Amino acid sequence: MDRMTSASPDPAPSTAPASPDQEDVLPRGGTVRPITRWGDPVMHRVLEPVTEFDDALRELAADMVATMYAADGVGLAASQIGVDRSIFVFDCPDDDGVMLKGVVCNPVVHLPEGKDRRLDDGDEGCLSFPGAFVPCARPDYAEVEGQGLDGSTVRYAGTGLLARCLQHETDHCKGTVFGDRLPRRSYKKLAKQHDAAAEEFPPGWPA
Ligand SMILES: [Zn+2]
Provide the CATH number for the domain around residue 141: 3.90.45.10
Residue 11 has pLDDT above 50, yes or no: no
The answer to whether residue 204 is domain-embedded is no
Is residue 168 within 8 Å of 101, Cβ to Cβ?
no
Q: What is the pLDDT of residues 25-44, one digit of tens each?
A: 999 999 999 999 999 999 99
* Res. 97: pLDDT tops 60: yes
Find out whether 136 and 195 touch, Cβ atoms under 8 Å.
Answer: no
pLDDT at 8: 40
What's the CA gap between 196 and 198, in Å, rounded? Answer: 6
Which entry of 48, 59, 124, 169 is annotated as an active-site residue?
169
CA of 128 to the centre of ligand 1 (A): 6
Query: Is 50 contained in some domain?
Result: yes
- What range defines the domain where residue 91 resides? 25-198
Would residue 57 count as lying in a domain? yes
Using the mean position of ligand 1's atoms as its centre, give its distance from the Cα of residue 3 in Å: 8
Confidence tier at 10 by pLDDT (50, 70, 90): very low
Amino acid sitting at position 5: T
Ligand 1 center from residue 1 Cα (angstroms): 5
Q: How many domains does the chain have?
A: 1
Rounded-to-integer distance, Cα 105 and Cα 78, Å: 10
CA-nearest of 205, 14, 168 to 90 is 168
Q: How confident is the model at residue 126 (pLDDT cuts 50, 70, 90)?
A: very high
Residue 139 domain-assigned (yes or no): yes
Residue positions counted in the chain: 207
Query: Global pTM?
Result: 0.90
Residue 169 designated active-site: yes
**For residue 1, what pLDDT is reported?**
56
The rounded Å distance from CA 19 to ligand 1 centre is 24
Tell me if 143 is assigned to some domain: yes
